Structure 1
Amino acid sequence: MGTPGRTAPTGPAPERVLTLPNLISASRLALVPVFAWLALAGQDLWALAVLAVAGASDWLDGVLARRLDQRSRLGELLDPSADRLFILVTLVVLTVRDVVPLWLVLAVVGRDLLLALVLLVLTFSHVGPLPVHFVGKAGTFALLYAFPLLLLAQWAGAVGDTAGVIGWAFAWWGVGLYWLAAMIYLRQGFGEVVRRRRRA
């Protein structure tokens, strides 16, 4: 993953597999079922701890990839995949527990389905994957911060009330930025297809 401002570097990424950032991203993927089991079992403190570790690794793997010069094609694929899977599973779990409404799941899943369709069109048009945009990373960042706060909001008292307000602020911003990023990707993808056809 990385910080919200991380964008894909220019030029092809090296074909490296066993790098520290990739191991961190893979570990985050492994935490997805752990969080789901803990949250569904009502072990909220442990579930919050897993979310905190996942959020920290989201920042850490991007920093290490840049500072250690360990950027790789696998990392560019693994990082957003871990993001999306964690967001999807967390949303489903929180919906099952009536922490968040169904529309939030549909808004996030609908956006990802739209981008999957765009990626399919780009692939058939022989256009490479679009670079990660700041807005998309910011949306992911906001959603990953929203989830532990919304889970914490289930606690009674001032802590839960405050967490709920802040958590929903992050959730609204996250969904808004998520869809704004989708519009940016659509515009970029359409522009690349048009340019390739003109050159052809």
Structure 2
Amino acid sequence: MTTEKPNRMLHVPNLITGGRILAVPVTVLLILTDHLHAAFWLFALAALSDAADGLVARLFRARTKLGGWLDPAADKLLLVGTYVAMAITNLIPVWLLILVLLRDLIIIVGIAVLILALREKLSIQPLWIGKLNTFLQLSLVGLVLGAAGPFRDYADYVMPGTLVVAVSTVGSMVAYIMRGVFILRTRLGAQDEQQDGEKAE
């Protein structure tokens, strides 16, 4: 009889993700206190850790339910925290922060509406445009902090990058709204047909 060896790498991705979460308040504080060189490098390290935990999880089959929740939560905390700090310090326009937060709020409210209306658990898969938007939003943080810190030659790219993120955020928002409406109409239509069939019997 053979016993399966415990996976020693099982909790490594979660530890890396935990380190990313701990880096969020430090990065925010560095931005607010105008230590932008250090903020850039810490943010870059946090971004690399996002790729690292995913790589470890895949290579060593170390995926866990906790990791499935922690990883997107860490990304969202890093994103929102840095955007708020950059808006406060006028590194990005306030309207962009509002747009980013509005997108997330609409997605959360939309999921809540679907759950309440359909009265069932839903597994909402992220759309490709949503993934692209998140990547662009995080990339803008690196660009803004880099242009204000160690890579000032890239300052001219900040405004175009801001506009690209704004457009992708609006596009992502519209796509998720359309997806939610489609799911709602499809599921409710199926439920109505099922009820009509039961009445006919």
**Aligned twin of 2:4:** none
Q: Give the alignment partner of residue 103 of structure 2, picking from 111, 131, 156.
A: 111
Q: Which AA in structure 1 matches 2:95?
A: W
**Aligned twin of 1:78:** 70
Residue 145 of structure 1 contacts residue 170 of structure 1 at CA under 8 Å; is this kept in 2? Answer: no
**Alpha-carbon spacing, 1:27–1:104, altered in 2? closer, same or farther (3 Å):** same
Alpha-carbon distance in structure 1 between the residues aligned to 2:175 and 2:86: 24
**Alpha-carbon spacing, 1:157–1:117, altered in 2? closer, same or farther (3 Å):** closer
Q: Which AA in structure 2 matches 1:22?
A: N
Residue 37 of structure 2 contacts residue 145 of structure 2 at CA under 8 Å; is this kept in 1? Answer: no
Alpha-carbon distance in structure 2 between the residues aligned to 1:53 and 1:181: 31
Aligned CA RMSD, in angstroms, stands at 2.7
| TM-score (normalizing by structure 2) | 0.77
Alpha-carbon distance in structure 1 between the residues aligned to 2:94 and 2:151: 25
**Alpha-carbon spacing, 1:67–1:142, altered in 2? closer, same or farther (3 Å):** same
Question: What's the CA shift for 1:189?
Answer: 4.0
Gaps of 5+ in 1: 1-17
Question: What's the CA shift for 1:119?
Answer: 2.2
Question: What's the CA shift for 1:173?
Answer: 5.3
Runs of 4+ in structure 1 deviating by more than 6 angstroms, as ranges, are none
**Aligned twin of 1:146:** 140
Question: What's the CA shift for 1:172?
Answer: 3.5
| TM-score (normalizing by structure 1) | 0.77
Structure with larger Rg: 2
Q: Secondary structure at the match of 1:100?
A: coil
Q: Which AA in structure 1 matches 2:155?
A: D
**Alpha-carbon spacing, 1:105–1:165, altered in 2? closer, same or farther (3 Å):** closer
Is 1:197 the equivalent of 2:191?
yes
Q: Which AA in structure 1 matches 2:158?
A: G
Question: What's the CA shift for 1:90?
Answer: 0.8
Residue 28 of structure 1 contacts residue 54 of structure 1 at CA under 8 Å; is this kept in 2? Answer: yes
**Aligned twin of 2:14:** 22
Deviations 1:146-191 (A, max 9, x none): 1121123336996143442564365335424532552354246425
Task: Give matches, 1:1-200, under 5 Å.
Answer: 19-124=11-116, 125-154=119-148, 159-165=153-159, 167-168=161-162, 171-172=165-166, 174-183=168-177, 185-187=179-181, 189-190=183-184, 193-194=187-188, 197-198=191-192
By percentage of residues, which structure has more helix?
2
Gaps of 5+ in 2: 1-9, 196-201
Q: Secondary structure at the match of 2:148?
A: coil
Alpha-carbon distance in structure 1 between the residues aligned to 2:187 and 2:58: 30
